[in-house]
Amino acid sequence: MKCHMSVIAKMEESVQAATQLLGETMQIINSLQDRQLPSLNPDELPFIDKWSDCFLRTS
């Protein structure tokens, strides 16, 4: 029975971590919805520092 409780506890921790990440992701999405996409060339799109530079310049 102890083994089952350990598995359940690990699953609960995993669900809590996923819930935390989902909440943080929703906050990011909500804050980005009000902004226009930056005018980056397609080669720059994968780089977060390029996005950050665009948002910092427009703030």
Instruction: Report how far apart, in Å, the C-alpha atoms of 16 and of each of 2, 5, 21, 22, 29 are.
Output: 21, 16, 9, 10, 20
Cα–Cα distance, 40 to 10 (Å, whole number): 42
Report whether 38 contacts 21 (CB < 8 A).
Answer: no
The domains of the chain are located at: 2-58
What's the confidence (pLDDT) of residue 13?
A: 94
Two tokens, residue 58: 């427009």
- The mean pLDDT values, 10 residues at a time, for the chain of 59 residues are 77 95 92 75 80 71
